[in-house]
Structure 1
Amino acid sequence: MIASVGVGGLALAVAACGGTDTVQPAGNAAPAESSAPQAGATQSSAPQGGGTALAKTADIPVGGGTIFKDQKIVVTQPTEGDFKAFSATCTHQGCTVGSVEGDAIVCPCHGSQFAIADGSVKNGPAERPLPAQQITVEGDQIMLG
């Protein structure tokens, strides 16, 4: 399944070295109750127009995530209502991550895996976590920036 949003791209100064064009949101974890905003995402009840619309909250699976290749960002929802965003550029050699499989963001180039909850390295060869990106949740919209 390819998931891409045709809005303005996020400029990153890191060149990607390749990868797959397939984006696979994944995860069937049981929802957990959470009503507090989490680090990396702020929430409000109505759109305020502070950034670029990236996706609807319903588009991001609980216990998984979605990669937005044009913006070079991956948005995850580790638990219900807890949205996180990370750079989609692998910290190993700059490839674009290719999928979200269960609780891992996976780079197709050399097999590095990163946790959907905090971007930390679950499996190398990458040694550094994926950098967090700023998103906000406004109503049912996830906004970049």
Structure 2
Amino acid sequence: MSDEMTTGAAVAAGNGGVGRRAVLCGAGAAGAALLAAGCGGGGKEPEPADKLKGKEIGKVADVPVGGGRVYADTKIVVTQPSKGTFKAFSAVCTHQGCLANKVAGGTIDCPCHGSKFEIADGSVAHGPASKALQEYPVQVKGDAIVVA
């Protein structure tokens, strides 16, 4: 038997090498870490308002009355709770940092654990989140919605 085969046999038998159980346990731990990162949003934090000041978020025509739109690129959701009143909030859920993915039925919805936030003020409508979304001041300039 060659030295190479002897070494391989010793490794497989657990004599001085990494065994199958260690590899499988390591793979399981790596998978659990990825799952936790996915649920935790990978450390997403809302952008500070001053960093976004003057930035156009979207167009007035894209935000329906009584609804809103999520802008994933800026991690901001813009709502229009009543005609001509625009609000902007961080789209980063305060529960574990997932990104809200839709506005429906008067709420901003997070897909990860079911948290919902009111479109008028970003307050929690349904947990597990317990903190309101960060609000950004906005103004309408022509047909654009801009962080004030």
With the length of structure 1 as denominator, give the TM-score of the two structures: 0.64
CA separation of 1:134/1:51 partners in 2, compared to 1, >3 Å: closer, same or farther? Answer: same
Cα offsets for 1:9-68 (capped at 9, x unmatched): xxxxxx98578xxxxxxxxxxxxxxxxxxxxxxxxxxxxxx7122222111000000000
Q: When you count helix as a share of all residues, which structure comes out higher?
A: 2
SS in 2 for 1:95: coil
C-alpha displacement of 1:134: 2.3
Which of 57, 60, 67 aligns to 1:57? It is 60
SS in 2 for 1:83: strand
Unaligned segments of structure 2, at least 5 residues: 1-36, 42-52
2:108 alignment partner in structure 1: 105
Which structure has the bigger radius of gyration? 2
Query: Aligned-pair RMSD on alpha carbons?
Result: 2.0
**Aligned pair 1:75/2:78, yes or no?**
yes
Which of 119, 122, 125 aligns to 2:125? It is 122
1:94 alignment partner in structure 2: 97
May I ask how many residue pairs the two structures share in their alignment? Answer: 101
- Please tell me whether the aligned partners of residues 40 and 96 of structure 2 are also in contact (alpha carbons under 8 angstroms): no
Identity of aligned residues (%): 57
Unaligned segments of structure 1, at least 5 residues: 1-14, 20-49
With the length of structure 2 as denominator, give the TM-score of the two structures: 0.63
